[in-house]
Amino acid sequence: MQSVNIYDAKTRLSQLVDKAAEGEDVVVSRNGKPLVRITKLQVEKRKIRYGLLKGKVQIPDDFDAPLPESELKLFEGR
């Protein structure tokens, strides 16, 4: 854990944030007394919920049927 005084922290904040993002904690002190710690945030992973839209989405029977010629022309720029 690195410790820096508040003046150095103001001038090197970007570097200290980069170190914290890499996982190294940085303690900011004033007059030799620790005040705050800059540390990496732990982002919580969202739990996957399967079946959330069950019964709410309907897929037509002809979903994978070939498109009409008129729509194919639009896709192909003809």
Q: In terms of residue numbers, what domain contains 21?
A: 2-38
Q: How confident is the model at residue 77 (pLDDT cuts 50, 70, 90)?
A: confident
CATH code of the domain containing 30: 3.40.1620.10
Mean pLDDT of 35-57: 90
Q: How many separate domains does the chain show?
A: 1
Residue 23 located in a structural domain: yes
User: pLDDT-derived band of residue 45, with 50, 70 and 90 as boundaries?
Assistant: confident
Residue 43: pLDDT band with limits 50, 70, 90: confident
Predicted pLDDT at 1: 81
In a domain, 53, yes or no: no
Confidence of residue 76 (pLDDT cuts 50, 70, 90): confident
Measured from the Cβ of residue 7, the count of other Cβ atoms closer than 10 Å reads: 10
Q: How far apart (Å, rounded) are the C-alpha atoms in residues 78 and 74?
A: 6
Give a yes or no: residue 11 inside a domain: yes
Separation between Cα atoms, residue 67 and residue 20, nearest integer Å: 54
What is the spatial distance between Cα 65 and Cα 7, in angstroms, rounded to a whole number? 68
78: pLDDT strictly greater than 80: no
Residue 44 lies in a domain: no
H/E/C letters for each residue in 36-48?
A: EEECCCCCCCCCC
Is residue 65 one of the residues assigned to a domain?
A: no
For residue 26, being part of any structural domain is answered with yes
